[in-house]
Structure 1
């Protein structure tokens, strides 16, 4: 086992992330189609991690294992997802205010997210036992799962995740981008046509005059019927 980072990590809005590319999807998309609502892994290259504390520092560790580690009895909430980095990975605070590089190879991992003290942190009880560990080990992709649930805060987010539709597939994203591109091109062509109509002072003349432009275009504002 190797510890990739450990110590106090800043969270805001009860969130912290693992990012490995340029994409920063929303919460609903990250949890779309999942059964667990604590570690969102539905979008490739991203992990959306929920905490009990709204804003402040939490005890957070990230570990890399060769094989699945045992689930310790000390953990109250345990979930698993699959993950593959799409570039250099890092644990990232809200809005990128802080980040901690993670030495992860570009391979498929199983990820276990463990938490303790989430309900106490949410309610502001002092002193808080809240702490987290994120454990990676090489493994082929498989559906996410809830290993252990104890508190109401975790149960609430599990319910939230199960209400979210699955994120679009790469093919669906490509089709949506194609349609959006065609719509932009259509709008640009229509804008150019309207601008040319204004140049000619109204309805466009025959194609030959439009190609010639020159004196005919100069005359159009003066005597449109003649043109």
Structure 2
């Protein structure tokens, strides 16, 4: 397993992971359904929704196989597929300067992305501070439609 710890600026309440040359545009992908599941997809790109638009901690793990199910430890868990034809994955905030974004070299192919979201209910009243954190686990796997493994509970405001 290779693991990377990042702090990403989640401007517009999102960050993304993509195949380096992908031109998938997430702007139209954030439908009501995508917003509810906190994950949007476009060709070669997966957008990860966040609960605040500040710097957020993100762990990215590249695995050789599907990880054990630890959904009970997280507030929300979603899976999608990511085609990585180039063998270079980019992880960035949506307004980051693309050439400076983190890159991870990997074997070309189709990967499953499991996005796990933690401590989503720890936001300060103004929404700027919190202990929310995000984990992306990637492993080689056949393409699947997006699926929610655990839906977060949203309290009424």
Normalised by the length of structure 1, the TM-score is 0.58
- Hey, what does 1:29 align to over in structure 2? 29
- RMSD of aligned C-alpha atoms? 2.7
Unaligned runs of 5+ residues in structure 1 are 154-227
Measured in 1, the distance between the counterparts of 2:123 and 2:65 equals: 31
- Hey, what does 1:151 align to over in structure 2? 153
Q: What SS does structure 1 have at the residue aligned with 2:123?
A: helix
Normalised by the length of structure 2, the TM-score is 0.80
Measured in 1, the distance between the counterparts of 2:63 and 2:2 equals: 7
Residues 17 and 140 of structure 1: CA distance in aligned 2, closer, same or farther (over 3 Å): same
**Contact residue 118 and residue 151 of structure 1 kept, 8 A:** no
1:160-189 CA-to-partner distances (Å, cap 9, x unmatched) read xxxxxxxxxxxxxxxxxxxxxxxxxxxxxx
Unaligned runs of 5+ residues in structure 2 are none
Residues 107 and 131 of structure 1: CA distance in aligned 2, closer, same or farther (over 3 Å): same
- Hey, what does 2:12 align to over in structure 1? 13
Measured in 1, the distance between the counterparts of 2:153 and 2:105 equals: 32
Residues 28 and 75 of structure 1: CA distance in aligned 2, closer, same or farther (over 3 Å): same
1:137 aligns with 2:134: no
How far is 1:132 from its partner? Answer: 0.5
Please state which structure has a larger fraction of its residues in strand.
Answer: 2
Please state which structure has a larger fraction of its residues in helix.
Answer: 1
Q: Which of 1 and 2 has greater Rg?
A: 1
Measured in 2, the distance between the counterparts of 1:11 and 1:99 equals: 13
How far is 1:79 from its partner? Answer: 0.4
Residues 35 and 29 of structure 1: CA distance in aligned 2, closer, same or farther (over 3 Å): closer
